[in-house]
Structure 1
Amino acid sequence: MSKNYLKMYFSVCFAVISLSVSAQSTFQQNKQSIYKEISNEVAKNHQLEQLAFELLDVIGPRLVGSPEMEQAHNWVINTYKKWNIEAENVPYGEWKSWQRGTTEITMTAPRIKSIEGMQLAWNAATKKPVEAEVVAMPIFPSKRDFEKWAHSINGKIVLISPYQKSGRPENQWKEHATEDDFASYKKEKEHQNTLWNNSLKATEKSIREIVEYLETKGAVGFVQSYFTGTMGSNRIFYSFSKNTPMVDVSLEDYGLLHRLAVNEKSPLLKINTQSKKLGTAKTYNTIATIPGKTKPDEYVMLSAHLDSWDGAQGATDNGTGTILMMEVARLIKKYAPNNDRTIVIGHWGSEEQGLNGSRAYVMDHPSEVQKIKVLFNQDSGTGRITYIGGQGFTQAYNYLGTWLQNVPEENRKHIKTDFPGMPQTGGTDNASFVAAGIPAFNLGTQNWDYGQYTWHTNRDTYDKIVFEELERNVITTTILTLEAANDPNEISNEKRVLPANTEWPTVKEPKRNSNDY
């Protein structure tokens, strides 16, 4: 090799290295001014409320397989394109397609009263209103008693939830009742729960199996009340019956129907549900990308599931995570588009049925997954970020701790960390990536009574969003993302040694169609 060639070769190498170092140093020199611009934009011109309006009010709940879910995927793509961010829908399976319609529930005897409630997901529509006597499922001493009773329910609508004597949440009892009354209330409630659970054991069937069995015995409808413990909140999931209406009603109305039934007043209920079964529909993940400049094959991923249950609007589960990550992407594209590493945003489908979208991405895109150096996921409601665990990665403290130092003190002071922590095995989408050995961190948030009030309930609506908290989260997440995307150091994925009898979670197959659910 000639000296001139060597000289030219090293000149080119030096130029490439210089450009890389220059790009890195430019960001490092300017990042505080960039972060200030981003903070000012969030304070004066954030898009969170508009995004929430379009996703939650206009599109609404996003049950997997529904037309609304496909509409949401397309809306995400179109919104990103307005911001000059490339995005696409990536199919991974199909699901039964069902669209909610109107639900009318009316007690017609012993008096007329509208009943607060709704049809459960994927339930069959009533061809014409079903009107029948309501009976309550009693306590069964044995399987034989259950089977004997089952022969009496032909042509009846069956109440299948335990009766709640008090609709007041426990915190009210604790605050306002005498100590003796509170103790008595808790003791009676525990006793009733024990009786109910022992009765279910006696039938040798789950509630789902009981519904399926009673349907074969001629029951013409089922009514549940999945009370969360907070006034007005019921969890809304899916129907167990195949051809008969199944609805969830408020604790108050369920209690009324139950008391009338057990006191032999023969209440009559009319149920009219107008949902639509639409065959099957493809399921997707929506993936957006902001390409990196000097390390384009190293990814920093933002993660949030787009789907929801459909008892309400899916506002805090996970509309808030969705619009958070979209707003972060918008700000990065506007104020810091030229990062070292590529930023990928994953909006997952069918998280609610078992992390299906994120698991499918891990299974279907192994080479892409191995390019992910770090992932931030958000899926725990509307509150400010208060906790980040190390997920079992030994060096997480070194880089996360450094990145967090750039987050404003008024945000950082609320965040507790736990290093190296333990790998997450489920619950939300970052677990799919932890199983693949990716440092994938969930941004845990302030509770705001998420578990009882809005998680999978009929109260998970736009008005439950605390936008002041989301604004803080946008700033924190944007800074963490930019720090990760421009950190000149390698981001370690070294795993800790786990305690005895504990193993690292393994990658799991997703459910790719509703037959597996």
Structure 2
Amino acid sequence: MRQTFISLTIAASLGFMLGGCAVSTHSTSADAKQESAITIANKTPELALAMQVKNASEESDLAYEIVKSLTVEVGPRIPGSQGDKRAVAWAEAKFNEMGFDKVYKQPVRVRNWERGFADAKVVAPFPQELVITALGGSIATPESGLEAKVVMFDSLASLSEADKATVEGNIVFLNTRMQRDKAGKFYGKVVPNRVAGAVEAAKMGAKAVIIRSVGTDNSRFAHTGVMRYDEEVEKIPAGAISTADADNLEAMFSSEQDVVLNINMQAKDAGWQTSYNVIGEFTGTEKPDEVVLISAHLDSWDEGTGALDDGAGVGIVTAAAKIIKDTIGQPKRTIRVILYAAEEIGLVGAYQYVRTNRESLENIIFAAESDFGAGKIYQLDTRFDEAVRNDPSDLYAALKSMGVELGNNTTNGGPDVSMLPNYGVPVIALKQDGTYYFDYHHTPNDTLDKIELDDIRQNQTVWALITAYIANSDFDPRPAPKR
């Protein structure tokens, strides 16, 4: 049962990348914009209110200021750590400071893991240092490190097909390159190296596994991220080397001499801790039991300050709700902002939210999560009841005038809301330009300076417009279509 749960968790956490990546049907022609403007001119009362919010948001830097506050005052916040505890206190205080009617926490049990020291060096044929980081959840090497010959594979599949005798007693190097893409669709093709590499290498008798970082940069920043063990398979250390060092290591194999590596990683399991989903609400005046749920995840990896992943999302959804309240007052439906715990280690807070609120999930009008940095939004994907999906045509026209096209109706939403359609909850995904997102993802380089003010303001405005429209309308896209 435990392994089944882990597999489902991994699948859900990757769902936002593996599915719903339809090709955008952008139209920037003057005719298209004119058509949108004509439609908006005949706007409904719901859109009239939402456009007031849009105009206010375009003059506000609140989302950026919230991310700045989080990254400066809290910084890294790996689940269960002291940084995580500070983040929970910060989020609760921020919601109260912003005047949310209801602020509360849901406890979430998390396994705390500490990265510790990590070092790697090529012993032969050409001695030099490599930049390495432990993968999240990895065990440590022996205190003195371990040294062995390296065997290189270009994919997890080629490792699985290899002769066990070529792998046994060696260090496996999984050297799969990630391609740059606006929608980040290649992440799902490469990330299995990180998640499952240690298990597959251990099955073949390897001493350890290292991977080419799951990233699109060409730098000496190593990308971390969660990995998994199988309780039926021996656990071996797992790390990632920077893409530049992966290039260097790959080139050494052309010498036709054995490549020998020494690795020392002293990560450790720090035991169970309690974290929290932190929730703020603006209660609806007419339909308080009907909920518009917008969210992000509060935790981050410990290498950078988590500005893009997912401080940006925290700022975007929190600011959107606050700007709505400040501009047009209390919404008709309840706006609920959830900052989920422990997304990075397997959507732990999201699953806890579903368990805790199982009996009231049917009250959610739609759910959404911002968790792909701060690149500009270019497409709205939905998972609405087909019979009513096209009803808010004025909203779609307003979005089109902002450069946001209507996409598919098959999305699972963001990672932490990806399980909700299974319960009939509609979801949306606001597709962001992720062309450079995986240059910084899970690295020490994920810092505030990577966020462009104009981009995060556009995100804030799109989220505020949609949330205000749905929260003040009778539009009801329930239930989500089954797939």
TM-score normalized by structure 2? 0.72
Deviation at 1:416, TM superposition (A): 0.7
Deviation at 1:58, TM superposition (A): 4.9
**Distance 1:483-1:134 versus aligned 2 partners, 3 A rule:** same
Q: Which runs of 5+ in 2 are unaligned?
A: 1-43, 182-188
Contact 1:391/1:424 (<8 A) preserved = yes
Partners of 1:476 and 1:373 in 2: CA distance? 18
Match of 1:463 in 2: 449
Match of residue 395, structure 1, among 388, 396, 403: 388
Match of 1:286 in 2: 278
| SS at structure 2 position matched to 1:124 | coil
**Distance 1:277-1:30 versus aligned 2 partners, 3 A rule:** closer
Match of 2:136 in 1: 121
Partners of 2:413 and 2:322 in 1: CA distance? 29
Equivalent pairs counted in the alignment come to: 419
Match of 1:486 in 2: 472
1:428 aligns with 2:377: no
Partners of 1:38 and 1:334 in 2: CA distance? 10
Match of 1:160 in 2: 173
Match of 1:412 in 2: 401
Match of residue 52, structure 1, among 43, 51, 67: 67
Deviates more, 1:137-146 or 1:75-84: 137-146
Partners of 1:355 and 1:144 in 2: CA distance? 31
Deviation at 1:478, TM superposition (A): 1.4
Match of 1:184 in 2: none
Deviation at 1:321, TM superposition (A): 1.6
Match of residue 84, structure 2, among 69, 74, 88: 69
Q: State, as a whole percentage, how many aligned pairs show the same letter.
A: 21
1:375 aligns with 2:367: yes
Q: Deviations over 1:359-390 (max 9, x none)?
A: 43234313432222233432333222221133
**Distance 1:435-1:227 versus aligned 2 partners, 3 A rule:** closer
Contact 2:411/2:427 (<8 A) preserved = no
1:236 aligns with 2:224: yes
Matches within 5 A, 1:75-474: 75-85=90-100, 86-92=102-108, 94-107=109-122, 113-126=128-141, 128-130=143-145, 132-137=147-152, 146-150=163-167, 153=169, 158-162=171-175, 207-213=197-203, 219=207, 221-226=208-213, 228-232=215-219, 235-239=223-227, 245-260=237-252, 263=255, 269-309=261-301, 312-352=304-344, 355-393=347-385, 394-399=387-392, 401-404=393-396, 412-418=401-407, 421-425=408-412, 428-450=415-437, 452-455=438-441, 459-474=445-460
Contact 1:287/1:346 (<8 A) preserved = yes
Partners of 1:31 and 1:212 in 2: CA distance? 55
Partners of 2:368 and 2:153 in 1: CA distance? 48
Partners of 2:478 and 2:422 in 1: CA distance? 12
Q: Which amino acid is the alignment partner of residue 417 of structure 1?
A: L
Deviates more, 1:464-473 or 1:304-313: 304-313
Contact 1:386/1:444 (<8 A) preserved = yes
Name the larger-Rg structure: 1
Contact 1:424/1:434 (<8 A) preserved = no
**Distance 1:252-1:387 versus aligned 2 partners, 3 A rule:** closer
Deviation at 1:254, TM superposition (A): 3.4
Partners of 2:118 and 2:228 in 1: CA distance? 17
Match of 1:183 in 2: none
Contact 1:234/1:457 (<8 A) preserved = yes
Deviation at 1:417, TM superposition (A): 0.8
**Distance 1:492-1:265 versus aligned 2 partners, 3 A rule:** closer
**Distance 1:159-1:262 versus aligned 2 partners, 3 A rule:** farther
| SS at structure 2 position matched to 1:50 | helix
Contact 1:321/1:379 (<8 A) preserved = yes
TM-score normalized by structure 1? 0.68
Contact 1:163/1:255 (<8 A) preserved = no
1:39 aligns with 2:58: yes
Deviation at 1:441, TM superposition (A): 1.3
Partners of 1:322 and 1:75 in 2: CA distance? 12
Match of 2:33 in 1: none
Deviation at 1:495, TM superposition (A): 5.9
Q: Which amino acid is the alignment partner of residue 273 of structure 1?
A: M
Partners of 1:295 and 1:145 in 2: CA distance? 60
Contact 2:53/2:324 (<8 A) preserved = no
Q: Which amino acid is the alignment partner of residue 87 of structure 2?
A: A
Contact 2:217/2:243 (<8 A) preserved = no
Partners of 1:29 and 1:134 in 2: CA distance? 67
**Distance 1:390-1:137 versus aligned 2 partners, 3 A rule:** closer
Partners of 1:49 and 1:145 in 2: CA distance? 49
